[in-house]
Structure 1
Amino acid sequence: MDKKDKQQLSEIDICDLFITPAIKEAGWDQMQQIRREVTLTPGPVIVRGNMSARNKKKKKFADYVLSKEPGIPIAVVEAKDNKHTVSHGMQQALGYVEILEVPSAFSSNGDAFASHNKVLATGEPIETEFPLDAFPTPATLWQRYKTYRGIEDQAEDLVIQPYHMDSSGKEPRYYQVEAINRTIEAVARGQKRVLLVMATGTGKTYTTFQTIWRLWKAQHVKRVLFLVDRNILADQTLVNDFKPFGSVMTKIKNRKIDPSYEIYLGLYQAITGPDEEDKIFKSVSRDFFDMIVIDECHRGSAADDSAWREILEYFSGAVQLGLTATPKETKYVSSTTYFGEPVYTYSLKQGIEDGFLAPYKVVRIDIDKDVLGWVPPPGMNDDLGQVIEHREYNQADMDRILVLNQRTKLVANRVMQYLNATDPFSKTIIFCEDIDHAERMRVAIVNAAGQVAIDNPNYVMRITGDSVEGKAELDNFIDPESRFPVIATTSELLSTGVDAKTCKLIVLDKTITSMTSFKQIIGRGTRIDEENGKWFFSIMDFKKATELFRDPDFDGEPVVIYEPGDDDDPVPPDPDPGDDVPDDEIQEEPGTYKVRVSGVPARIIHERIEYIGPDGDLITESYKDFSRKQIQSEYASLDDFLKRWNGEKKKQAILDELEEHGIVLDNLAAEIGKDYGDFDLICHIAFGQPPLTRKERANKVKKRNYFTQYGDQARAVLDALLEKYADEGINTLESAKVLKLKPFDQIGTPVEIITKVFGGKAKYEAAIQELEQALFEQDQTA
């Protein structure tokens, strides 16, 4: 094939005719080792106002991922059509190599391959080109990968142990693959303590399952103990992610470890306690378990005096894997000091940037008595007749020492105002200072909700450690299929370990100074739930807690900080003995006497909304501002845009491109006005042009007697199309399906209209393009 013909081929043709055959010829198995068109990340969700859209421009999509075995990527190939140079795709390939943490990147346009090699012998160039028939063999790139990752030859069988593949075809995401492979490689090197840091909502349990499965199938470990500290976590794991283990798996109960199983799920309160007879883990030998996995290991497992540490030390010869979203680093509790540095970290920031986690918007609200303070008049009594201490009370005192009932009412009303303006049935968690505050907030929400709370008694529930009724509704709250309860008021219970994936609003009326607690609370909202339409969540902050977002430690590497560790009780309350050990709850100590005052007014003095910006920091920006920047990144000037608009046969192509940037014009129309067409919305938002409504544009065309060049029937069709544009927009002009509707069906079928009235498809399409030019003609020289 000569060069001229080759340059007419599409990128897919180049792949099919040149690149794939060259890779196969080098010995790569097309079914097992070559994956085409691999989506690595879906692209982040952009939130502005109450609108959201996925920015598909930032989607990471590799043309080829080459693997030693399925799930063990070792190289990336980026393809381009033949109009580009051989190495044109290399920068893209290098981006994907960084994501997958592999050493080999290739680019090709069908003429040859360009190569980037991160593992080089002395004197070799980092980048080089070679002919199509010289692509490296699987053995060559596998050896390079082993060198790059530090994998010894004797560890190879363990490292390439296959993943579990279920009938649904579910595959691990790229970061889960990397977490699993890093853990397996660490174990293969003989490392006994391993730490994985993965943000809430990123699938730690599924990642753990695949890790255990591969180690177990390779017979590197035979008996595994997965330790959790809540019944709900053990039960969910048993029936969901760990289900493939089937009959070899059991949950430890009846205060006994049955030695006839291989995979054990354990509630650590069930296997240990303060007295020697409670320590049932000692009923088996120290070498009984080959591997122990500690879920949420920041919650005390690493404290020297904790119950979990005692279990870990007893089974000291086992591989010990710690899982956490928030490594705990204080003077008293340090998970990284115990486990060592994480073998892999996948942060909330990275998850949002990739598009696997839901972004958030923050509504910061300042209340006058919090910010300005309140000083009671001398000799003033509280609601119980006690004299109020004459001093200034501020935000730190609210609902801990001082209870202003009007403030509680104000918060509840603002929450309901937000929900009523968006969706009054959005799952919401309100974090309060303590149980007393959570109950008062429940009452205030009931009163603020009005009729909906009367019609649905479970609309709002207090779910705290002391409430049997509230805890009974916890499963319903986290179940996407259950509508009620909608709102949960709580203090600590829902901060950790509860998978409320449909939660769309988190309300912070709680003083939070612990970064660990803050991360766990934010983690309640980070799951994307496409099925239930949840793409982002909102944080309504009344106590300045979200200032922690600005702390470098929020999404940075963990460091040991010397601070009191009183926000996480290392040893939760002992369970009652019995068949089923209840979930541990944080039991609140009786607080100091609270000053309660009913008659002091409170008001909101300042409110602002912030969003996640391109660099991950919080910014204040409207959907209009965001759209303007994105449109101007595509079109530098109004002239550029008009040239593209008028030259594009199908305007929908332009709208699709903008949507890839996260711009949904329906969202803009909701802010600017629903009577404006896409063209005017773009020109107005991005370039400051005065907009015309669709009807105004249609009337201008009619006034110019545009239709006189056509016969009666063609005029009738075009006139009706113009009306359709005025009512519905540009899409109706570009789809022949509109001809099936009224009033066109009175003229003839779509085929009859196109062939008989206009004289064929080409002439019909030309008439549509002329009509569009007439609609936007006055703007062509703007």
Structure 2
Amino acid sequence: MDKKQFSETDIISKFILPAVEDAGWDKMTQIRQEVKLRDGKVIVRGQMGMRKTVKAADIALYHKPNFPLAVIEAKANKHEVGKGMQQGLDYARLLDVPFVFASNGDGFIFHDKTNPDALEIEISLQDFPSPETLWHKFCAYKGYTDAQLPIIQQPYYDDGSGKSPRYYQLQAINKTIEAVSSGQDRVLLVMATGTGKTYTAFQIIWRLWKARQKKRILFLADRNVLVDQTRINDFQPFGEAMTKITKRTVDPAYEVHLALYQALTGPEEHQKAYKQVDPDFFDLIVIDECHRGSAAEDSAWREILEYFSAATQIGLTATPKETEAVSNTDYFGDPVYTYSLKEGIEDGFLAPYKVVRVDIDIDVEGWRPTKGQTDKQGEVIKDRIYNQKDFDRTMVIDERTELVAETITNYLKRTDPMAKTIVFCNDIDHAERMRRALVNLSPEQVAKDDKYVMKITGDDATGKAQLDNFINPKKAYPVIATTSELMTTGVDAKTCKLVVLDQNIQSMTKFKQIIGRGTRIDDRYNKLWFTILDFKKATELFADERFDGVPEKILVTNPDEINDPDNTDIEDALNDPTNLNEDDYPADETGNTGEISEGEWPDYGADQTVVGGPIEDGEGSEYIKYHVSGVTVKKLDERVQYYDADGKLVTESFKDYTRKAVQQQFASLDEFINKWNTADRKQAVMDELAEQGVIWEALREDVGRDLDAFDLICHVAFDQPPLTRQERANNVKKRNYFGQYSGTARAVLEALLEKYADAGIPEIESMNVLKVQPINQYGSPLEIVKQGFGGKPKYQEAVADLERQLYQDDNKSA
């Protein structure tokens, strides 16, 4: 058989794989086919979301399971030998490998980044390089020493389930192992929330531990939920070698220690449990969420890292801190690897979002009390204009709370009343009032389960006890959680579909962490995207270049220069255990809130529950928190914005999005019509457009007319006047087209035309339509096709002819 008649699959199996195996590559351990590196970006419009399909690398070659070396991209023989090179280079970038091969079965084009003097050469099938050849070239390219190789080649943990690191996790693991094995003792990894930082950290620790490069390890976090999730989930394979440090006791019998900062140190000398062991006790310290805790140079928690300064220290964060007072890179150095939210969304590993921005009149225009007006507590309200920053911080207006709660409730009723929702409030008092308002607006849901709405804050043991149920996808309740600080970080709420912002947020770090509550994807529970309902203009931070970029280092040497008059960024500026909010530290299983005794928690304005009276705001000044009712409050505007291809928020209808997508695929109306006419199945054209992000249901909803796919595209993308499906069906009837048929054939085709009018082209192209009424009264599908049309080919030709009739006028114009 002529090689040019072979499919791409045949070329791989008959020519490429034999050549690779003949070169010495082991097909069981070193060769992987159809390596899917991305999941496919989710496109969201309206209440619908769908994944774009992604291609897989044809073949990836590995030195060891955790060490990819090369990519091979194959094409059918009708193509030139190097046709797949550009595609292969893209996969090689993701796998971070320097070798790429393209082939059509005749030979290979070999792209070798290790040899800039001959970057691309053509080689025969017989000259494919051996594993040893590529490995030696790779080691020389990387500059590995003999001492590094045992560490670098240590396999990652494999539980036999088939789970393996994603491409970016593999890059993060390998780059960290390389850095540590080369003697780098401070390493920073920046990975967006929801991308598996803890799993990545586990694999790093596992490989260094198994290679005996690092024998005693400390994993540091500042919240119990982070430590416990780590111990129970990703770190479980360490088994009996692992312990959680509690009661200020460091047990040297264990090799892997998980600890809260608060369990290792405190203001008093007797609380500094880390001093129970020598400074060289730990070989490796991994700091989770390193933008908090020990980030500030003068933090009391930094003393732990400084005490164990001889240990290799790896910082993990989704939000590297670069502020006037704090710098991660100043301590750890530049990140060895960064994987951003934008990359995660583009790859389909993170959920995109749509934003519903709600403007309230008193937020925009301000509210001023009448002369001498008093609040509910009898306090005379200071005469000034109160605006968005004041509400629920220094000024509580009941009607505003009720309007926000009503907007949340109506959104859930329109979409999904059981969608997991986090409402971020300014403080604990605000969270309680919001809980009460939401309860009053959802009596039917609350009657089913009184945990429908729960306040989950650090001061409420009952609410904190429901945190695990909230984040557990298998638990329906609680559905809505109102909170202030407790759930901003470290809460793995995979199925959270609605994030409500009614909190003043000016810290970029905090904003990123809050958005991260919704970015996880869970296909099992149909969580592919989420909505941000914003009442405080917090989502304006999306436009800040720091949101998804490397923050500019602006550290100053004089802490007095910190400009934070509203105390909105106090957590960013003052990372000290004596300056932290109890809301950050839920009690552990013993009721311990992190080894800081009652009475040591300061009262900052952001976490106060006092109403009517002086409150310290953390800067030494005082302000009054007033509480009033009887104010007329209304919504001015509600806008929907979507995450676009450039990672920006755009106010765009799905019609606009579709127009752009289609015009990228088809340069003109004639080109589209020609494609439609020549397609054996119209469904194939629809599927192709769906891969580009056209969600047919959302488009029909946006257009608001009963059009089929052809008319939707012609109308939306090329401004053509459309016909409804019924109008197209009636045009066929007027031509007396069915006169050429009789008996069963005519009855079936007339029924198919009605099916088209009701449901569109996909309905009549499916053979399953012959199984349903009224067509099934003429017999089984086999009987209808054989007796009515003389066989399947003639039946398919009759359906194709019917389709031509449906688009006859358009065919002439094309």
Shared fold by TM > 0.5? yes
1:29 CA drift (Å): 1.7
Which residue of structure 2 lines up, in the alignment, with residue 461 of structure 1?
454
- The partner residue of 1:185 within 170, 175, 178 is 178
CA contact (8 A) 1:253 1:579 kept: no
CA contact (8 A) 2:640 2:651 kept: yes
1:629 partner amino acid: K
CA contact (8 A) 1:430 1:490 kept: yes
Which residue of structure 2 lines up, in the alignment, with residue 163 of structure 1?
156
1:627 CA drift (Å): 1.4
1:18 partner amino acid: F
Distance in 2 between residues matched to 1:252 and 1:551, nearest whole Å = 40
1:744 CA drift (Å): 3.1
Distance in 2 between residues matched to 1:389 and 1:493, nearest whole Å = 32
**3-state secondary structure, aligned to 1:396:** coil
Which residue of structure 1 lines up, in the alignment, with residue 416 of structure 2?
423
CA contact (8 A) 1:229 1:584 kept: no
Q: Which runs of 5+ in 1 are unaligned?
A: none
- The partner residue of 1:12 within 9, 13, 21 is 9
Deviation track 1:44-102 (CA, whole Å, cap 9, x = no partner) reads 1111222212122xx35212222111121122222111222222222222222222222
CA contact (8 A) 1:326 1:516 kept: yes
**3-state secondary structure, aligned to 1:23:** helix
Deviates more, 1:164-173 or 1:551-560: 551-560
1:583–1:537 Cα change, 3 Å: farther
Q: Does 1:539 align with 2:532?
A: yes
Alignment map for 1:131-142 (pairs within 5 Å):
131-142=124-135
Alignment map for 1:99-498 (pairs within 5 Å):
99-120=94-115, 124-498=117-491
- The partner residue of 2:736 within 669, 694, 705 is 705
Which residue of structure 1 lines up, in the alignment, with residue 724 of structure 2?
693
Distance in 2 between residues matched to 1:98 and 1:261, nearest whole Å = 40
1:604–1:584 Cα change, 3 Å: farther
Distance in 2 between residues matched to 1:253 and 1:366, nearest whole Å = 47
1:307 CA drift (Å): 4.2
1:681–1:584 Cα change, 3 Å: farther
Please report the RMSD computed on the Cα atoms of aligned residues, expressed in angstroms: 2.2
- The partner residue of 2:745 within 698, 714, 721 is 714
1:719 partner amino acid: E
Distance in 2 between residues matched to 1:749 and 1:501, nearest whole Å = 46
Distance in 2 between residues matched to 1:127 and 1:751, nearest whole Å = 56
**3-state secondary structure, aligned to 2:5:** coil
Q: Percent identity?
A: 58
Distance in 1 between residues matched to 2:251 and 2:380, nearest whole Å = 62
1:537–1:150 Cα change, 3 Å: farther
Which residue of structure 2 lines up, in the alignment, with residue 644 of structure 1?
675
**3-state secondary structure, aligned to 2:56:** strand
1:587–1:18 Cα change, 3 Å: farther
1:578 CA drift (Å): 10
Deviation track 1:361-397 (CA, whole Å, cap 9, x = no partner) reads 1112222212222233333333333332222222222
1:32 partner amino acid: T
Deviation track 1:614-672 (CA, whole Å, cap 9, x = no partner) reads 11111121111111221222222222222222211211111111111111212222333
Distance in 1 between residues matched to 2:770 and 2:140, nearest whole Å = 64
Distance in 2 between residues matched to 1:216 and 1:336, nearest whole Å = 26
Deviation track 1:15-68 (CA, whole Å, cap 9, x = no partner) reads 112222222222222221122111111221111222212122xx3521222211
CA contact (8 A) 2:301 2:577 kept: no
1:781 partner amino acid: K
State the aligned residue count: 775
Which residue of structure 2 lines up, in the alignment, with residue 572 of structure 1?
577
Deviates more, 1:201-210 or 1:15-24: 15-24
Deviation track 1:528-587 (CA, whole Å, cap 9, x = no partner) reads 111111111111111111111111111111332344662245233599999563359986
- The partner residue of 2:707 within 676, 681, 686 is 676
**3-state secondary structure, aligned to 1:110:** coil
CA contact (8 A) 2:263 2:595 kept: no
CA contact (8 A) 1:329 1:561 kept: yes
Distance in 2 between residues matched to 1:367 and 1:352, nearest whole Å = 31
Distance in 2 between residues matched to 1:288 and 1:567, nearest whole Å = 31
Which residue of structure 2 lines up, in the alignment, with residue 86 of structure 1?
81
1:109 CA drift (Å): 1.6
Deviates more, 1:485-494 or 1:136-145: 136-145
CA contact (8 A) 2:45 2:698 kept: no
Distance in 1 between residues matched to 2:65 and 2:47, nearest whole Å = 41
Deviates more, 1:85-94 or 1:199-208: 85-94
1:320 CA drift (Å): 1.3
CA contact (8 A) 1:433 1:511 kept: yes
Which residue of structure 1 lines up, in the alignment, with residue 765 of structure 2?
734
1:239–1:577 Cα change, 3 Å: closer
Distance in 2 between residues matched to 1:673 and 1:605, nearest whole Å = 26
1:345 CA drift (Å): 0.8
Distance in 1 between residues matched to 2:804 and 2:411, nearest whole Å = 44
TM-score by length of 1: 0.95
2:680 partner amino acid: K
Distance in 2 between residues matched to 1:52 and 1:193, nearest whole Å = 41
Deviates more, 1:143-152 or 1:226-235: 143-152
**3-state secondary structure, aligned to 2:64:** coil
1:92 partner amino acid: Q
CA contact (8 A) 1:300 1:333 kept: no
TM-score by length of 2: 0.91
